[in-house]
């Protein structure tokens, strides 16, 4: 019996070792472009175009970062992305959480049909809606405004967030809500005082999904803004690609700075993000 236990233990250890080894290899392979971009951003101009290329610079040169931060419109693009992303995340999460809770808790007529229609709205390609959206926004005077971008991103992200949060709310214990209702708490009070605090993982995961989508989107931001003071980061990065060539140093420096906010969001919230997705997408 002891030999069988030892054999099973050895197999478990070997399996864990192989799993972690594969994950480490995948992680290293995925980080190669990041390290390459970081190395390019701190290379002197002469070394960037040298052949054969070097992974890491022989001398650290921060001129690319200085040019990006102080000699371009990068700070305007960064501010616009932060404002639009923050407002869109708040709005879409606020709307989706209320809608998902109502669908999960109330016996609405034709609820399955409603859920199907909500899901269908997120399946329409963005390209198919660009022309009608463009015509409509020009007529109502919303073209070239931050409010328009917030409205489009919110409408586009809300359906999928409703589905994720619906699965999460559907698996939260009803007994806690029933106990609060017996104590005299209203439906609204139950939602804000009990449901939202115990649903932090689901809220965080949906908020991060919205943030990543809005922060990285190019098509909508490029189509519905033409003024430099309204451009977002994803569009502003293309200013370093011109007919005279690509400014690799400045482009990589801008990219390195632009990924910092998303990294800072994911590092402290990664556990809640994974737990929230598992609860909403798998159990729902």
pLDDT in tens, 32-59: 888 888 888 888 888 887 777 777 787 8
The model carries a pTM of 0.82
Using an 8 Å Cβ cutoff, are 89 and 206 in contact? no
Contacts 24+ apart (CB under 8 A), 31-39: 34/259, 37/252, 37/255, 37/256, 38/252, 38/256
Q: What is the pLDDT of residue 243?
A: 64
Residue 284 neighbours by CB under 8 Å, 6+ apart: 163, 164, 166, 167, 168, 170, 171
Residue 215 to residue 251: CA distance in whole angstroms = 17
- pLDDT attached to residue 164: 84
Q: For residue range 8-27, list pLDDT tens digits in order.
A: 555 565 677 778 888 889 98
Per-residue pLDDT, 281: 45
Q: What is the pLDDT along the chain (284 residues), one digit of tens a residue?
A: 555 555 555 556 567 777 888 888 998 888 888 888 888 888 888 888 777 777 778 788 888 899 888 888 899 999 999 999 999 999 999 999 999 888 888 887 888 888 888 888 878 888 888 888 889 999 988 898 899 999 999 988 898 888 888 888 887 777 887 788 887 888 888 888 888 888 887 788 888 888 988 999 998 999 898 888 889 998 988 888 876 678 888 889 999 999 888 888 877 766 665 565 555 444 44
Give the residue from 30, 84, 37, 128 showing the smallest Cα distance to 217: 84
The answer to whether the peptide bond before residue 124 is cis (omega within 30 degrees of 0) is no
State the pLDDT at residue 270: 66
Query: For position 71, what pLDDT does the model report?
Result: 83
User: How far apart are alpha carbons 20 and 42 in whole angstroms?
Assistant: 32
């Amino acid at each position: 019996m002891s030999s069988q236990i030892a054999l099973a233990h050895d197999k478990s250890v070997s399996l864990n070792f192989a799993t972690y080894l594969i994950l480490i290899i995948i992680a290293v392979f995925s980080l190669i472009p990041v390290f390459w971009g970081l190395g390019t951003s701190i290379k002197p101009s002469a070394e960037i175009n040298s052949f054969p290329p070097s992974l890491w610079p022989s001398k650290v040169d921060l001129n690319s970062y200085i040019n990006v931060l102080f000699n371009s419109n990068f700070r305007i693009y960064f501010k616009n992305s932060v404002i639009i992303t923050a407002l869109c995340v708040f709005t879409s999460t606020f709307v989706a959480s209320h809608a998902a809770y109502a669908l999960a808790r109330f016996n609405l007529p034709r609820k399955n049909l409603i859920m199907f229609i909500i899901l269908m709205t997120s399946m329409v390609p963005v390209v198919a809606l660009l022309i009608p959206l463009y015509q409509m926004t020009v007529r109502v005077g919303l073209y070239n405004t931050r409010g328009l971008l917030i409205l489009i991103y919110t409408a586009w992200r809300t359906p999928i967030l409703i589905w994720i949060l619906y699965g999460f709310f559907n698996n939260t214990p009803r007994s806690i809500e029933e106990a609060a209702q017996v104590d005299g708490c209203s439906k609204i009070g139950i939602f804000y005082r009990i449901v939202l605090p115990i649903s932090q993982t689901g809220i965080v995961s949906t908020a991060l999904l919205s943030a990543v989508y809005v922060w990285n989107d190019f098509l909508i931001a490029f189509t519905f803004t033409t003024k430099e003071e309204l451009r977002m980061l994803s569009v502003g990065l293309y200013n370093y690609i011109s007919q005279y060539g690509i400014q690799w140093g400045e482009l990589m420096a801008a990219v390195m700075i632009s990924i910092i906010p998303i990294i800072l969001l994911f590092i402290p919230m990664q556990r809640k993000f994974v737990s929230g997705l598992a609860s909403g997408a798998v159990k729902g």
